[in-house]
Amino acid sequence: MTGLEKDVLQNDLCEGCECTGFVAMLTYALDATAKTVTITDTSTFGAGDDLNVVNAHVYDKDGNEKHGQITADAGNVVLDVSSLNLSSIDILATVISTQGCKADLGSYNIGSVALSGSLGNKNNQGLRD
């Protein structure tokens, strides 16, 4: 990304919004018996900001996919993944705040590594959209 592109992304698209205090975090749990994945928002937001939406996507190694959204702060989405190959799935998600802060998160090879965990980390400051 060039300096000009970064400046446009950080200043123009968001019209000067401030992402201080925005830390995108999600937890996930794969229930292999029920064949569901529960994704829960655990993000924190700066003063005057809140969750707008989390767009969540689950993919298997065969290219099958399931999608869902979280629209409430600390809310969750339960996805039926019975049609997916659960031996190795990926979870990708985008967290967007009401002030336009955005973070893309992902966890890969779930099922072969861990059945639960988190996406994001305490140091991932979001970008202004």
Most confident of 3-12, 90-99, 106-115: 90-99
* Predicted local confidence at residue 18, as pLDDT: 75
Question: Tell me, what amino acid is at 109?
Answer: N
Per-residue pLDDT tens for 13-29? 455 567 889 999 999 99
Q: Running DSSP on this structure, what letter comes out for residue 126?
A: P
Per-residue pLDDT tens for 57-89? 999 999 999 999 999 988 999 999 999 999 989
What would the two tokens of residue 32 be? 């292999």
> Can you tell me the distance from the alpha carbon of 23 to that of 46, in angstroms, rounded to the nearest whole number?
9
Of 111 and 61, the one with more pLDDT: 61
Pairing label, strands 101-110, 76-80: unpaired
Between the alpha carbon of residue 21 and those of residues 10, 32, 75, 98, the distances in Å are 16, 35, 19, 13
What is the total residue count of the chain? 129
Residue 4 pLDDT greater than 60, yes or no: no
Instruction: Give the domain 20-121 fold.
Output: Immunoglobulin-like (2.60.40)
